[in-house]
């Protein structure tokens, strides 16, 4: 005769309650971490937002320090008459680049030039053509007048701002852009583009010889007569 066996009593199920407690603990820990991160984060607003963090490289500071003290004076000092550059570069581009320009790596030569001529009305892109006496008939000279100032001619014209000075390509490119901003601030801000047409202008600046028939000069000096 068999005897029925009573199954052992089961222990209380506590797994679900432990999981619930863990679910509560994890979000709480994340919340504490988030609060600590915010408390130790410094936020920048307005003009501060464009400045580099303390101890890091600032393209803005570099441009502000170097443009007026070194780069613009050096371009002015080494500037060659644009007619001379145009004539020489047509006759022998390599020789002209060696004699009058600055060549960085495999890039086209950058020339520092000066000229006097009659200004036309700046076009929609801010390019002002200047009729320069003695310039070859098939060569035109334009001056960037903003609001956009493009290229890296100011950065590269002296040969003293080199990629090896910077941590990476981004800093190198940003320095070029910030030097252009110095041109806009110090050279172009007071230029009355609405009244310049037909006026005589003296210009000192730099350009990269990409198109032999069209020199696009970034100015470091513009004097309207």
Domain containing 126 — which CATH number? 2.40.50.420
| Predicted local distance difference test score (pLDDT) of residue 43 | 46
Please give the Cα distance from 197 to 199 (Å, whole number): 6
Greatest C-alpha distance within the chain: 130
**Distance in angstroms between the alpha carbons of the first and the last residue of the chain:** 128
Domain ranges, residue 115: 58-224
Domain assignment present for residue 188? The answer is yes
In a domain, 79, yes or no: yes
How many distinct structural domains can be found in the chain?
Answer: 1
Cα 169–73–190 angle (5° rounding)? 90
Residue 100 forms part of a structural domain = yes
**Residues 214, 99, 71, CA angle at the centre, nearest 5°?**
75
Q: Is 198 exposed, middle or buried (0-12, 13-18, 19+ CB in 10 A)?
A: exposed
Query: Is the residue at 160 inside a domain?
Result: yes
Query: Which mean pLDDT values do the consecutive 10-residue runs of the chain (225 residues) have?
Result: 54 55 56 54 44 73 96 98 97 96 91 98 97 95 97 96 90 96 97 97 98 97 97
Judge whether 3 lies within some domain. no
In a domain, 134, yes or no: yes
Model pTM score: 0.76
In a domain, 53, yes or no: no
Does residue 46 sit within a domain? no
């Amino acid at each position: 005769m068999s005897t029925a066996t009573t199954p052992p009593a089961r222990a209380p199920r506590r797994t679900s309650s432990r999981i619930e407690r863990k679910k509560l603990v994890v979000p709480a820990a994340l919340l504490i971490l988030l609060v600590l991160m915010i408390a130790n984060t410094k936020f920048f607003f307005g003009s501060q937002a464009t400045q580099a963090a303390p101890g890091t490289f600032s393209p803005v500071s570099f441009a502000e320090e170097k443009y007026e003290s070194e780069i613009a004076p050096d371009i002015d000092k080494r500037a060659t008459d644009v007619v001379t550059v145009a004539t020489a570069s047509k006759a022998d581009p390599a020789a002209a680049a060696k004699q009058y320009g600055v060549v960085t790596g495999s890039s086209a030569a950058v020339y520092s030039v000066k000229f006097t001529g009659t200004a036309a009305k700046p076009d929609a892109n801010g390019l002002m053509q200047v009729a320069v006496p003695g310039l070859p008939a098939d060569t035109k000279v334009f001056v960037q007048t903003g609001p956009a100032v493009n290229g890296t001619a100011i950065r590269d014209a002296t040969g003293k701002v080199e990629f090896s000075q910077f941590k990476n390509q981004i800093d190198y490119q940003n320095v070029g852009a910030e030097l252009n901003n110095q041109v806009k601030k110090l050279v172009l801000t007071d230029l009355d583009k609405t009244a310049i047409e037909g006026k005589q202008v003296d210009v000192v600046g730099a350009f990269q010889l990409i198109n032999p028939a069209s020199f696009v000069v970034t100015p470091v000096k513009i004097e309207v007569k």
